């Protein structure tokens, strides 16, 4: 198979919707309910299985990235998307930002920021009234934070939640990471 037979590179899409600049595009890597962690490989233009979570642990919501961005960890900006039904790897969604989990991961002595944007898919019925992470409730937010702590622990890394901020901070993080 020649190089020209690869799929397009979704990581290079325009991150903004053309009709509504308040909406961002998000490329889904791992669907809600999956034990499989998928990631897009920009060099090979494929979605690759990165790890399998242990029995009983799944991704609580769809997980992906904002195209044409680069976060402090060198990867595109991560996004957890709240929506009614799971999407699939490679699906591009239009989302509104509602907040960010600010976090720091540590692998041995190396520490780096690894924030996670939280967004709602624009047509999600169950999440239509959610405009900010505060609308989710404290218990819901604690569970999201704990998922990322546990997820990193499986890889021998520590993840420390530094705080949770609203949509303005999430948008600023995305804008600062544009390539």
Half-sphere exposure at residue 13, Cβ-oriented, CA atoms within 13 angstroms: 22
Residue-wise pLDDT tens digits, 133-143: 999 999 999 99
- pTM of the full structure: 0.93
pLDDT of residue 1: 44
pLDDT of residue 23: 95
Residue-wise pLDDT tens digits, 43-67: 888 999 999 999 999 999 999 999 9
Query: What are the DSSP E strand ranges found in the chain?
Result: 23-30, 36-41, 46-52, 62-65, 78-82, 92-107, 110-113, 116-121, 158-165
Is pLDDT of 172 > 50? yes
Report the pLDDT averaged over residues 146-174: 94
The class that CATH gives domain 10-172 is: alpha beta
pLDDT of residue 5: 64
Eight-state DSSP code of residue 91: -
How far apart (Å, rounded) are the C-alpha atoms in residues 179 and 171? 15
Give the residue extent of every domain in the chain: 10-172
């Amino acid at each position: 198979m020649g190089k020209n037979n690869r799929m397009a590179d979704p990581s290079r899409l325009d991150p903004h919707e053309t009709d509504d600049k308040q909406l961002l595009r998000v490329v889904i890597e791992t669907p809600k309910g999956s034990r499989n962690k998928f990631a897009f490989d920009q060099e090979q233009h494929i979605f690759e299985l990165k790890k399998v979570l242990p029995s009983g642990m799944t991704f609580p919501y769809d997980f992906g990235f904002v195209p044409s961005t680069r976060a402090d960890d060198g990867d595109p900006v991560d996004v957890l998307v709240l929506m009614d039904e799971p999407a699939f790897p490679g699906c591009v969604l239009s989302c509104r930002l509602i907040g960010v989990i600010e976090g720091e991961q540590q692998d041995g002595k190396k520490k780096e920021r690894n924030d996670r944007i939280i967004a709602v898919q624009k047509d999600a019925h169950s999440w239509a009234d959610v405009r900010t992470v505060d609308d989710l409730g404290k218990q819901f937010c604690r569970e999201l934070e704990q998922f990322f702590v546990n997820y990193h622990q499986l890889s021998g890394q520590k993840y420390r939640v530094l705080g949770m901020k609203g949509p303005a901070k999430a948008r600023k993080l995305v804008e600062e990471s544009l390539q």
